[in-house]
Chains A and B, each alone.
Chain A
Amino acid sequence: MGNTINAVIKKYNGDETRLMDILLDIQTELGYISDWTIEQISKALDIPTVEIIQTLSFYHFFHREPKGKYTIYLNDSVVSNFYGKEEVKKVFEEEAGIKFGQVTPDGLIGLFETACIGMSDQEPAALINEQPFPSLTPEKARKIIKMMKEGKSIEDIKGNKYGEGNNSHYLMRSLVNNNIQERGAVIFSDYTPGDAIKKVVKELSSTDIIEEIKKSYLRGRGGAGFPTGLKWEIARKAQGDIKYIFCNADEGEPGTFKDRVILTELPKLVFEGMIIAGYAVGAKYGILYLRNEYRYMREYLEHVLQEMRDDGLLGKFIGGKKGFDFDIRIQCGAGAYVCGEESALIESAEGKRGEPRDRPPFPVESGYLNRPTVVNNVETFCTAVKIILNGAEWYNRMGTKESRGTKVLSVSGDCERPGIYEVEWGFSVNDILRKAGAKTHEVLAVQVGGPSGSCISEKEFNRILAYEDLATGGSLIIIGKKRNLIKDVVLNFQKFFMEESCGSCVPCRVLTVIYKNIIEKIVRGEGRSSDIENLQKWAVFMKNNRCGLGQTATNPTITAIKNFKFIFEESVKNNSENFYSFNENEAVKEYVEIFNKK
């Protein structure tokens, strides 16, 4: 054990900023991270144990107790619940003989729940020893546990019905499907890796690239929509000889899974975008921050990076050009939605808890290891490559005035064709519903942009997806009329935010709990109309939280109340504001019974 720990630490040169990797590798080797292990790491890195625990206990995929030879993480997302998660959960519990949150006494199986794992188009899904098992049924769950008891390997349990495209690649062998329903003109159009790099090397300076990206009006695809060209320009001008390019693949917004598909099918396009950004900004290092839920892709992605090095597209003298050096490493997360926020992501990559930083300074001025850092979304890098290849003018012909080009949407929920749609900006929600095969008269609501976005009703289905109208990071969850909006959707989302708050800002840490409790109270049938008023009133305090998570963490509730007030009113209508439900005779009944017996 001691040898394993030392070998891992040596691999990372005893660098404490690589604590995430150290912990991840040790957990992979030893199954969990014991107090003894923490002490060994503390000694080897010469940092206090309390600091190691500070990082370790922040991420929900790290375990300080044995988590089972087979560890099942069942997805607790809204769509997973729509499609029978509870039945699957029941079977797992029955067959394993334990409850969720427990490990079998023989240490064989551990059952845990987790927030959205990016498989909303093939639910219910689970991660088992980091391998995704989509489209589960009670029968499949029964078989999985049976095979575990027989001691079968994960590969055996998976079987060989791999998903389409690169999901079947020998280094991935995943059961996941891409479900690309519509290929658009930007991301999923024809592409030959290296063409953009060749063009850059031959004819473009760093300022030419930035000018072209600025002319394209490309805006960040993570959700915030910051102009990409401007971001690159600020980073280029920032002081410092060492700069970094980060690709944010911490796709944690429930209902979003587009980056998973892009990384599966077009990893070279993503990496090429990072390389070009490096050239434009003057950075020589890139980091792909990959959410732990997508760690099953890691080996495959490493292989892709090596291919690019072998082809002269990565490493030294890229495209044969002297001084064009750039290399990329993959940083895995360990389960924390808030790390999708760029400064939290940087903290995490530095081996710390994923707590967002105060701004200013912004990452472009002082980011990873306090150096100028560009953080862009997976889709943003891909789009940038296509703009360099085809020109800003080509790009500007698509989309709307404020939102040029296309957007890759993750569509899930109550529809016939869930999956990935690359569409031009400017489509209405109705258009998407039609494409996805959702029957409009059966749709109650659409959650646009995940829980941090908004829950809209039929009245707004004619609104268009664009920064000037309904801005979105790219997910639509279709909620049918058969669903219980408050219980199945709002409560799930509020629970999600409560669990994912880093806890640093008081309003976020405390109000996320209060919101979840009040929604639960309404679901139990004990809500009052004053509860609804309070939920609406108190959301204003969230605006002063430090990060985007905190600022939007009550959106599931307030947008649902705004657009579906009647549902909330209906669920509290039988409860008066007064405590008239207090019945004195009822309350003292037991006492009277005992008293009368004597």
Chain B
Amino acid sequence: MSTFVKFIIDGKICLSEEGKQLIEAAKENDIYIPTLCNYPGIPPKGSCRICTVLINNRPATACTTKVTENMDIKTSTPELEDFRKAVIELLFSEGNHFCPSCERSGNCELQALAYRYKIAVSRFPYFFPERSVESWHPKLIKDHNRCILCKRCIRGIKNNDGKTIFAYGRRGQYLEINIDPETSKNISDELAEQAMNICPVGAILVKERGFITPIGKRKYDYNIIGSEIENQ
């Protein structure tokens, strides 16, 4: 039997199992904490920082924090909201994100967050970096222009032997995600599809397939990201 704990988010009393990821525990209490790198069921790695909240007035990422009794959490202060907005803008400045020509448009979490935060243009200078589109893999396309380096594919996608398929290369501004030619060689169609779907943006695509759901019927075409949690 798991123990339930009481904690407070923005003054609201919440209940959840002890030790649960804060971001998931908040969801159970109809509170949406935005994220790009967290994905239910895979180990968290606070890398996007968007889910930063204040816990007893100290910043911490909600994806890597476990809830404990009487935790006092603030998630919607003006400073935190502006920080989140800034992170999204930084991602738009850093990569090449051209929504109108992107296959993922409408199902893209980065795009959806930009709408949620009403971002028309980034306050930061755009890098317009030169990045490649890798298409050597028999089943996958890796578009480095769109990759936000959230590590979801690295953490969540392993082959049948449990071996790594995706891994980081280099560091800092040159950080990239690479595909292993050997371990990814015989991946199933299902795994390829899973890799495409785990990606929050359109950086991993399945060749000759793309997305079945037409534009107009996609998840965030009419609904704001997070509203499915907030409007429960």
Contacts and interface: CB of A to CB of B under 8 A. Distances in A.
Interface stretch (A21-29, A396-404, A497-505): A497-505
Contacts of A336: 171
A545 B90 CA distance: 14
Nearest to A43: B182
Interface stretch (B7-15, B173-181, B196-204, B213-221): B173-181
B87 A48 contact: no
A544 B59 contact: yes
Given A54-B168, A57-B170, A507-B90, A48 B180 contact: yes
Interface in B146-167: 148-149, 151, 163-167
A53 interface: yes
A164 interface: no
Contacts of A185: none
Nearest to A39: B182
Contacts of B127: 513
A506 B47 contact: yes
A51 B148 CA distance: 19
A417 interface: no
A500 B174 CA distance: 11
Q: Which of A42, A57, A538, A540 has the most CB of B within 10 A?
A: A57
B125 interface: yes
Nearest to B129: A513
A358 B91 contact: no
A100 interface: no
B74 to A, nearest CB: 13
Interface in A374-399: none
B34 interface: no
Interface string B41-78: 00011111110100000010100100000000000000
B94 interface: yes
A505 B49 contact: yes
Given A49-B180, A358-B61, A510 B91 contact: yes
A5 to B, nearest CB: 18
Interface residues of A, number: 37
A54 B94 contact: no
B54 to A, nearest CB: 10
B40 interface: no
A544 B172 contact: no
Contacts of A502: 171-172, 175
Contact of B172 (A42, A498, A538): A498
A544 B83 contact: yes
Contact of A48 (B64, B148, B163, B171): B163
Interface string A8-46: 000000000000000000000000000000000010000
B178 A53 contact: yes
A509 interface: yes
B45 A53 contact: no
Contacts of B93: 510, 514
Nearest to B154: A54
A516 to B, nearest CB: 9
Nearest to A517: B125
B29 interface: no
Q: Which of A500, A509, A510, A513 has the most CB of B within 10 A?
A: A510
A352 B120 CA distance: 39
Nearest to B163: A48
Contacts of A317: none
A455 B127 CA distance: 29
A45 to B, nearest CB: 12
B90 A510 contact: yes
B64 to A, nearest CB: 4
Nearest to B94: A510
Q: Which of A358, A500, A511 has the most CB of B within 10 A?
A: A358
A50 interface: yes
Given A50-B180, A514-B124, A353 B164 contact: no
A512 B172 contact: yes
B169 interface: yes
A48 B181 CA distance: 9
A504 B175 CA distance: 8
Nearest to B90: A510
B63 to A, nearest CB: 9
A503 B52 CA distance: 17
B173 A48 contact: no
Given A48-B183, A50-B178, A498-B172, A507 B87 contact: yes
A513 B171 CA distance: 13
Interface in A540-594: 540-541, 543-546
A336 B151 CA distance: 21
A58 interface: yes
A352 B17 CA distance: 33
Interface string B87-131: 100110110000000000000000000000000000011010000
Q: Which 7 pairs of residues, A with B, have the shortest CB-CB distance?
A: A503-B175, A50-B180, A54-B167, A50-B167, A358-B64, A501-B172, A48-B180
27 contacts: A47-B163, A47-B164, A48-B167, A49-B181, A50-B183, A53-B178, A57-B171, A58-B168, A353-B171, A503-B174, A504-B45, A504-B149, A505-B47, A505-B49, A506-B49, A506-B90, A507-B49, A507-B90, A509-B149, A510-B91, A512-B172, A513-B94, A538-B86, A541-B83, A541-B86, A544-B83, A545-B49
Interface of B: 44-50, 52, 59, 61, 64, 79, 83, 86-87, 90-91, 93-94, 124-125, 127, 148-149, 151, 163-175, 178-183
Given A507-B49, A541-B83, A541-B90, 8 more contacts: A48-B165, A48-B180, A50-B179, A57-B171, A501-B172, A503-B170, A507-B87, A511-B124
